[in-house]
């Protein structure tokens, strides 16, 4: 997943405005403008690295010149104690940007690290791990980037780039008459013919209706392993399959050779723990 410079600038400017406001009073009072230093981003935990493209943009948004030099690649596993990157230049800029930079880096490395654990739990399976829209408001692009860096794949970005007919859509579609799934699929094809369609199926009857309607994806929601195996048999290649709901690391070994195309996991973004990373200053 590529992050555009424009999207990163917008996110960084909001973060700077939130934290710095009219100025870093403490740093401006203590440090002379001409002081230059070197500092290192050091991880205190094993992690998968993600986020330095964002930090490159972040430091450019400050008036004092600094140079950020990553020492690792995005998506690289880094053991505890690794020096992830160095930053050299204006001390005021580095100290003022420190917390915002660490907030981004710790959060994105946490998501990438958790994603890697899910990907590795699938072993040699052809099934792919997907993220969801359960992201921090305003940070979706960054968090989905971190999933990609961790070896996962991105589901739809928002409500606009894929049709997903969920349970509430189906329930409300029933107000328009019986056969809610065929009705909803037909309406979506008519209004947005350029978009692929996914139907969330709670039961095997939903699966049959979605497959018959000719959708591109069928989401098997909160189904048992046996129910998913039967759903895959019913679909018989007519649509891509996605499992979601109740997916844990411990459950993945039982699912990896079931024949699923995708497994989506909201926990990748809504429950990832930030990695403990520090900024160590040198003279």
| DSSP labels, 88-152 | EEEHHHHHHHHHHHHHHHHHHHHHHHHHHHHHHHTTT-S-EEE--S---TT-HHHHHHHHHHTT-
Reported confidence tier of residue 116, pLDDT bands at 50, 70, 90: very high
Instruction: Assess contact for 154 and 147: CB atoms under 8 A.
Output: yes
Q: Render pLDDT for 58-76 as a digit per residue (tens, 0 to 9).
A: 999 999 899 999 999 999 9
Q: Which of 143, 198, 200, 206 is catalytic?
A: 200
166 tagged catalytic:
yes
**Do 153 and 43 belong to one domain?**
no
Nearest to 146 by CA among 268, 255, 59: 268
Q: Which of 99, 162, 238, 251 is catalytic?
A: 99
pLDDT at 172: 82
pLDDT at 271: 96
**Do 50 and 110 belong to one domain?**
yes
**Do 172 and 258 belong to one domain?**
yes
Q: Render pLDDT for 170-197 as a digit per residue (tens, 0 to 9).
A: 888 777 777 899 999 999 999 999 999 9
**Do 32 and 19 belong to one domain?**
yes
Question: Kindly report the CA angle at 154 between 151 and 158, in degrees rounded to 5?
Answer: 155
**Do 38 and 163 belong to one domain?**
no
pLDDT at 174: 75
The answer on pLDDT for 47 being more than 70 is yes
The answer on pLDDT for 95 being more than 90 is yes
Reported confidence tier of residue 223, pLDDT bands at 50, 70, 90: very high
Average confidence (pLDDT) over 88-108: 97
pLDDT at 214: 97
Average confidence (pLDDT) over 130-138: 97
CA torsion sign for 216, 115, 117, 164 is negative
Q: Which of 117, 140, 166, 240 is catalytic?
A: 166
99 tagged catalytic:
yes
**Do 252 and 141 belong to one domain?**
yes
pLDDT at 282: 65
Host domain of residue 72: 5-119+272-282
**Do 133 and 246 belong to one domain?**
yes
240 tagged catalytic:
no
Instruction: Assess contact for 104 and 273: CB atoms under 8 A.
Output: no
* Mean pLDDT (the chain, rounded): 95
Average confidence (pLDDT) over 81-109: 97
**Do 108 and 131 belong to one domain?**
no
Q: What is the pairing mode between strands 277-282 and 36-43?
A: antiparallel
**Do 224 and 103 belong to one domain?**
no
Reported confidence tier of residue 91, pLDDT bands at 50, 70, 90: very high
Residues in the chain: 283
Which CATH number characterizes residue 138's domain? 3.20.20.70
Average confidence (pLDDT) over 256-282: 95
pLDDT at 134: 97
What's the predicted TM-score (pTM) here?
0.95
14 tagged catalytic:
no
Which CATH number characterizes residue 108's domain? 3.90.1170.20
Number of domains making up the chain? 2
Q: Which of 24, 74, 221, 242 is catalytic?
A: 221
**Do 73 and 100 belong to one domain?**
yes
Average confidence (pLDDT) over 246-267: 96
**Do 184 and 265 belong to one domain?**
yes
* Element (DSSP H or E) covering residue 242: strand 240-244
The answer on pLDDT for 88 being more than 80 is yes
**Do 97 and 202 belong to one domain?**
no
> Which tokens is 9 given?
């600038």
Q: Which of 133, 134, 189, 251 is catalytic?
A: 134
């Amino acid at each position: 997943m590529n992050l555009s410079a424009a999207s990163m600038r917008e996110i960084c400017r909001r973060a700077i405005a939130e934290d710095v406001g009219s100025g870093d009073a403490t740093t401006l009072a203590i440090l002379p403008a001409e002081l230059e230093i070197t500092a290192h981003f050091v991880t205190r935990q094993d992690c998968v690295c993600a986020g330095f493209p964002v930090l490159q943009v972040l430091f450019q948004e400050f008036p004092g010149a600094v140079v950020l030099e990553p020492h690792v690649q995005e998506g690289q596993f880094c053991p505890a104690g690794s020096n992830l990157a160095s930053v050299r230049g204006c001390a005021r800029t580095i100290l003022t940007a420190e917390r915002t930079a660490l907030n981004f880096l710790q959060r994105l490395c946490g998501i990438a690290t958790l994603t890697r654990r899910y990907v590795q739990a699938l072993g040699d399976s052809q099934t792919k791990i997907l993220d969801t829209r359960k992201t921090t408001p305003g940070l979706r692009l960054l968090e989905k980037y971190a999933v990609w860096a961790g070896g996962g794949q991105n589901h739809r970005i928002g409500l606009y780039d894929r049709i997903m007919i969920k349970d509430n859509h189906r329930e409300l579609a029933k107000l328009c008459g019986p056969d809610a799934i065929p009705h909803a699929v037909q309406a979506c094809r008519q209004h947005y013919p350029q978009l692929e369609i996914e139907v969330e199926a709670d039961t095997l009857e939903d699966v049959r209706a979605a497959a018959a309607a000719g959708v591109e994806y069928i989401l098997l929601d909160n189904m048992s392993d046996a129910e998913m195996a039967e759903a895959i048999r019913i679909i018989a290649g007519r649509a891509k399959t996605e499992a979601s709901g109740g997916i844990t690391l411990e459950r993945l070994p039982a699912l990896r050779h079931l024949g699923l195309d995708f497994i989506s996991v909201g926990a990748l973004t809504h429950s990832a723990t930030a990695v403990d990373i520090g900024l160590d200053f040198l003279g």
